[in-house]
Amino acid sequence: MDLLQVRNVSKTYGSGEAAVHALKRVCFTVPKGEFVAVVGESGSGKSTLLNIIGALDTPTSGRVFLDGQDIFSMKERNLTVFRRRNIGFIFQSFNLVPELTVEQNLVFPLLLDHQKPDRRYLEELLTVLGLKERRRHLPSQLSGGQQQRVAIGRALITRPALILADEPTGNLDTRNTSEVITLLKEASRLYEQTIVMITHSRSIAQSADRILQVSDGVVTDFGRCRE
């Protein structure tokens, strides 16, 4: 089953002379459980594509289906809840809440959704992420690699069907990079999650199930959109 369907998605920023066609009729599908690496030059439209898939930005035209749901046909409030429950985001800058501890940052998406954390799953995540001893620390007391592991935990805590990552290892050294990637792949295998990850790293891309090449707003290796 396809978890994600991107149909004829275009995105234009600005208008007239200043218009930037960031995405031009992009079509592809991702089956449930697949780990997809998105590669392409800077400015080619990768982040725009990821933000639209995650409903952080809206397409100028086209549709995105997640688990059969046409996400841009949903009302804003429903979409916010749907996004929180079904999509986990990981960014290059870890975006942790500085005043909250590791554990509080991890469960933050659940609190926003007025849900109680599943203690067993929380303990499991802390163990898998190697953060058990750091649970009461603040982000400022952690290394970059540890902070990114918290951000991964925060993306996983809701058990989302889809994980979107925009250069998650961009700020990490080689050792932390491979650790983070191994963790993500392990999590997606354990919990049958689908991952779409933008990366500059050739070796990360090569370890993915599939590589999506973006060039100048076009996904080049999937042929054209079928009408």
Closest CA to 205 of 26, 92, 47, 40: 40
144 binds, among Mg ion, ligand ADP, none (CB under 5 to 8 A by kind): none
121 binds, among ligand ADP, Mg ion, none (CB under 5 to 8 A by kind): none
40 binds, among Mg ion, ligand ADP, none (CB under 5 to 8 A by kind): ligand ADP
Which neighbouring-strand residues pair with 38? 198, 212
Which two three-digit tokens encode residue 211? 């590589």
Torsion over CA of 154, 57, 74 and 165, rounded to 10 degrees?
-30
Which residues inside 106-125 make contact with Mg ion, applying CB under 5 A? Answer: none
- Site map for ligand ADP, 31-60, x if CB under 6 A? ---------x-xxxxxxx------------
Which residue number, 43 or 130, has a Cβ lying nearer to Mg ion?
43
Which residue number, 110 or 219, has a Cβ lying nearer to ligand ADP?
219
Under the binding rule (CB under 5 A), the answer on residue 44 touching Mg ion is no
Closest distance between Mg ion and the C-beta of residue 50, in Å? 8
Instruction: Kindly list the distances between the CA atom of residue 26 and the CA atoms of 58, 105, 114, 185, in Å, as whole numbers in the listed order.
Output: 14, 35, 36, 26
Under the binding rule (CB under 5 A), the answer on residue 48 touching Mg ion is no
Closest CA to 157 of 220, 111, 225: 111
Which residue number, 48 or 146, has a Cβ lying nearer to ligand ADP?
48
Closest distance between Mg ion and the C-beta of residue 136, in Å? 34
Under the binding rule (CB under 6 A), the answer on residue 20 touching ligand ADP is yes
Which two three-digit tokens encode residue 31? 């089956």
Which two three-digit tokens encode residue 97? 């809440």
From start to end of 14-66, where are the E strands?
A: 20-31, 35-39, 61-66
Which residue number, 110 or 196, has a Cβ lying nearer to ligand ADP?
196
Find out whether 23 and 59 touch, Cβ atoms under 8 Å: yes
- Site map for ligand ADP, 165-204, x if CB under 6 A? ----------------------------------------
Find out whether 201 and 190 touch, Cβ atoms under 8 Å: no
Closest distance between Mg ion and the C-beta of residue 46, in Å? 5
Q: Compute the C-alpha angle 52/201/195, nearest 5°.
A: 40
Residues that bind ligand ADP (CB under 6 A): 13-14, 20, 22, 40, 42-48
